[in-house]
Amino acid sequence: MTTDLAPFFSPAGVAIIGASSNPRKLSYGILKNLSLYGYVGGIYPVNPKADQILDMKVYPDVSAVPDPVELAVIVLPAGMTPDVIRSCGERGIKAAVIISGGFREVGGNGVALEQECLEIAREYGMRLIGPNCVGTVDLLTGLNTTFIEGLPVKGSIGFLSQSGAVCGGVVDYIADKGIGFSHFASLGNELDVDESDMIAYFGAHPAVKVIAAYVEGIQDGQKFIRTAQRVSREKPIVLLKAGRSDAGAQAVSSHTGSLAGSYAAYQAAFKQAGVIEVDDLPALFDVAWALSCQPLPKGNRVAIFTNAGGPAALASDALDANGFKLAAISPEKQAQLAEKLNPSAQVSNPVDMLGGAEPPEFAHCLETLIDDPEVDVLLPMLVPQALVNSGDVARAIVEQAEKTKKTVLACMVGEQSLTEARQVLHQNHVPMSIFPEVPGQVLGAMQGYRSWMVKDHGNPFQFTDVHKDEVQGVLNAATQKALGEAETRPALEAYGLDLIPGALAKNADEAAKVAQEIGFPVAVKVVSPQILHKSDLGGIALNLSNESDVIDAVRAMQAGITAAAPMAVIEGYLVEKMAPKGLEVIIGMRRDPTFGPLMMFGLGGVVVELFKDVGFGIAPLSPQQAREMIESTRAGQLLQGFRGGPIYDLAAVVDVIGRLSQLALDNPSIAEVEVNPLLVLPEGQGALVLDARMILDSK
């Protein structure tokens, strides 16, 4: 099967199978669009019941279509599609877009129908986009296989979407905004070509500077991370994820048939892969457009100059919320600014030129601050005034912006009177927003991408001192899905985790003997497959200082649990040495259906559910990525000596995260594993597993 997706965008010829002469049919719109935007390849309508459509010769079937033809666009009922794909394969066509719906998204036979189409395509080495999509657009070649009305201007943003409706809405939204695109791709159900394939194609395309994506569900999480990590090193990927809430995830499933994984896993994957996630469609294109035409900010110091104080205040708040600050303007520069501004103007930052500021004053501020080493970003802001031509202000901004390599963003607050200004700015690659909060959000995204680019992400953990066969023995011996601490301890020990000294006892007398061997004081924990949270039922006794205390505690525990949970089978009692002082944290893994092992770190004990202060990462991880998981939480701050507090063994926590991730990767039958708490000792002294549990996939 060819991996080259070029025929979807620059084919030598296109066959529209199911072309109609009815202007109300989608295939008529596709045929019309193919003829409107300068595409120079062959256009071949296929319909056995027509002779001509739109003055084009119509062919009875795909076998009659002349050479060259490299792409088929199929607009026929779902049930006819497998036979058509086979005909295309026999004709030698290597790429097909299936516009039609009625496949996986409707359930039932639609799933089997998709699989049949895929098997036929693979037999002939074909690539498929769709089904249930609106097609592809290449603004460089003029190809437009969609039925969408209108197109944006030519530029360098490659856009992919799993929703055809979103594609149509986006085209309409940006058509008059001067935001330049190179490609559009509606992927639909992603039967074959998925979002990772398209990101890889756009990543390799020299005309694409930025990739923008609307995604509902990732098909192959590990493939996505590998692809996005590689591409992000060359060009930014800006992504909007739908289905972040439970309600949204349900809507995604019913819309595309996708299985939505945990949003926490998506966030972790995006962060590791350098993907810039945004919250809404306007932000998707604000950020992508800025990245496509402006350099990344070299620092976080911004100079605002404006004709209105209120919007500047709002912009300042948004800048601060996104890690930027107002640059300090030196007295010398302030004096220069004052030379050509209204005597009442405010020349500190934000520079308030007052309401009547003219284009020359905007130009003067830019010219004065362009070479200021204390300024990284220039942000001119305008609220339209009756006596000031906003188009001329835009021209003044452009003239100065062309002289600098610093980041320049413009904000003009309004809408109706700013059409010319936006056109001037966007034609000259100065992004313009109409709300003062937007520049801060855009700059935050740009700086986040820059930070990811300069990091050393390192290589994944590799441990050679692990014993896979011992873990396999534990898993094979398991008779139930949920394994308590007694069953989980051997697996953790086999992967090099340090455990608090302890052993399993069958009764009170054995427990006393074990306690004597490991040394007092000790803790005793009930072992029962029906009891995972032992403290809830009085299944833990702490600080037992002699044999008598141990015997009394075990007997009381047995009586209490028998009364509170008569169905619970007590298999024994785990006796462990009382732990020294340290910081309790939790480290866990939950196997995500999309991305695989999702690693978790946070404060230990029961407070993790209260504070929900948790860092996530997708295995395989590097030590650097594990450390970033830790440092993203308040628990990470405590480990590193928050406000003069003790410094704990952070390196040991990183090591435990790595070993648990290796355990998960090596043993796919482990659905969850949790160490809670992990006791982190002072720096250099390591970390001890105090309690743990494991859940296996259904057997």
> Which of 212, 244, 265 lies at the terminal end of a domain, its last residue?
265
Specify if 568 maps to a domain: yes
Other C-beta atoms within 10 Å of 526: how many? 26
pTM equals: 0.92
Q: From residue 417, how far is each of 337, 344, 420, 470 by CA, in Å?
A: 28, 27, 8, 73
Whether residue 604 sits in one domain with residue 519: no
Whether residue 588 sits in one domain with residue 565: no
pLDDT (average), residues 473-484: 89
Most confident of 245-249, 443-447, 635-639: 443-447
Element (H, E) at 433: strand 432-433
Other C-beta atoms within 10 Å of 321: how many? 12
User: What is the token pair recorded at 83?
Assistant: 């036979």
Q: Domain holding 228: CATH number?
A: 3.40.50.720
Q: Which domain holds residue 164?
A: 6-265
C-alpha 130/C-alpha 144 separation (Å) is 15
Contact 486, 572 (CB under 8 A): yes
Quote the radius of gyration of the chain (alpha carbons, Å). Answer: 31
pLDDT (average), residues 469-478: 93
What is the CA 690 to chain-centroid distance, rounded? Answer: 34
Looking at residue 596, its pLDDT comes to: 94
C-alpha 28/C-alpha 143 separation (Å) is 15
Contact 104, 188 (CB under 8 A): no
Backbone angles phi, psi at 478, to 5 degrees: -65, 135
Whether residue 194 sits in one domain with residue 57: yes
106 conformational bin, left if phi > 0, alpha if psi -120 to 50, beta if neither: alpha
Whether residue 573 sits in one domain with residue 589: no
pLDDT (average), residues 507-526: 93
Would the pLDDT of 561 be above 70?
A: yes
Whether residue 590 sits in one domain with residue 535: no
Whether residue 546 sits in one domain with residue 661: no
| Residues ≥6 apart with Cβ < 8 Å to 425 | 178, 394, 397, 398, 410, 431, 432
Specify if 273 maps to a domain: no
Whether residue 137 sits in one domain with residue 211: yes
Would the pLDDT of 451 be above 50?
A: yes
Specify if 365 maps to a domain: yes
C-alpha 217/C-alpha 212 separation (Å) is 15
Q: Domain holding 596: CATH number?
A: 3.30.470.20
Which ranges constitute the DSSP H helices of 147-262?
A: 164-174, 195-204, 221-232, 246-256
Looking at residue 402, its pLDDT comes to: 95
Whether residue 625 sits in one domain with residue 564: no
Token look-up 């008529």 returns: 28
pLDDT grade, residue 247 (50/70/90)?
Answer: low
Q: Residue 502's beta-bridge partner residues? A: 576
User: What is the token pair recorded at 88?
Assistant: 């295309």
Q: Domain holding 534: CATH number?
A: 3.30.1490.20
C-alpha 405/C-alpha 304 separation (Å) is 17
Looking at residue 256, its pLDDT comes to: 26
Crossing angle of helices 390-401 and 419-427, in 10° steps, is: 10
Specify if 467 maps to a domain: no
User: Which one has a higher pLDDT value, 609 or 381?
Assistant: 381
pLDDT grade, residue 258 (50/70/90)?
Answer: very low
Specify if 515 maps to a domain: yes
Contact 598, 592 (CB under 8 A): yes
Specify if 425 maps to a domain: yes
Whether residue 667 sits in one domain with residue 629: yes
pLDDT in tens, 168-198: 888 888 888 999 999 999 999 999 999 999 9
Looking at residue 699, its pLDDT comes to: 53
User: Which one has a higher pLDDT value, 168 or 75?
Assistant: 75
C-alpha 31/C-alpha 593 separation (Å) is 40
C-alpha 348/C-alpha 584 separation (Å) is 49
Would the pLDDT of 1 be above 70?
A: no
Whether residue 178 sits in one domain with residue 123: yes
Instruction: DSSP letter for 677, please.
Output: E
496 conformational bin, left if phi > 0, alpha if psi -120 to 50, beta if neither: left
pLDDT grade, residue 132 (50/70/90)?
Answer: very high
pLDDT (average), residues 545-573: 92
> Which of 265, 280, 307 lies at the terminal end of a domain, its last residue?
265
Find the distance separating the first CA and the last CA of the chain, reported in whole Å: 36
Q: Please write down the long-range contacts of 198-203, taking CB distance under 8 Å and 24 or more positions apart.
A: 198/5, 198/160, 199/160, 199/224, 199/227, 199/228, 199/231, 199/237, 200/227, 200/230, 200/231, 201/5, 201/6, 202/158, 202/160, 202/231, 203/227, 203/230, 203/231, 203/234, 203/235
> Which of 544, 577, 610 lies at the terminal end of a domain, its last residue?
577
Crossing angle of helices 390-401 and 359-369, in 10° steps, is: 20
Whether residue 127 sits in one domain with residue 29: yes
276-278 and 71-74 strand pairing: unpaired
Element (H, E) at 406: none
pLDDT in tens, 638-695: 999 888 889 999 999 999 999 999 999 999 999 999 998 999 999 999 999 999 989 9
Looking at residue 553, its pLDDT comes to: 93
Token look-up 């006892």 returns: 505
C-alpha 5/C-alpha 95 separation (Å) is 8
Q: Residue 588's beta-bridge partner residues? A: 600, 674
Q: From residue 444, how far is each of 328, 411, 481 by CA, in Å?
A: 19, 16, 44
C-alpha 567/C-alpha 637 separation (Å) is 43
Would the pLDDT of 108 be above 90?
A: no
Contact 525, 576 (CB under 8 A): yes
C-alpha 80/C-alpha 61 separation (Å) is 13
The total of structural domains in the chain comes to 4
C-alpha 134/C-alpha 171 separation (Å) is 12
pLDDT in tens, 7-53: 999 999 999 999 999 999 999 999 999 999 999 999 999 999 999 99
Specify if 29 maps to a domain: yes
Sheet with 154-161: list strands edge to edge. Answer: 143-144, 136-138, 181-186, 154-161, 210-215, 237-241, 276-278
Which of the residue ranges 254-263, 290-299, 494-503 would you say has the lowest mean pLDDT?
Answer: 254-263
Would the pLDDT of 2 be above 80?
A: no
Element (H, E) at 443: helix 438-454
Contact 88, 62 (CB under 8 A): yes
Which ranges constitute the DSSP H helices of 94-143?
A: 109-123
| Residues ≥6 apart with Cβ < 8 Å to 349 | 303, 304, 326, 327, 328, 329
C-alpha 435/C-alpha 654 separation (Å) is 42
C-alpha 603/C-alpha 635 separation (Å) is 5
Specify if 409 maps to a domain: yes
Whether residue 651 sits in one domain with residue 534: no
Q: Domain holding 345: CATH number?
A: 3.40.50.261
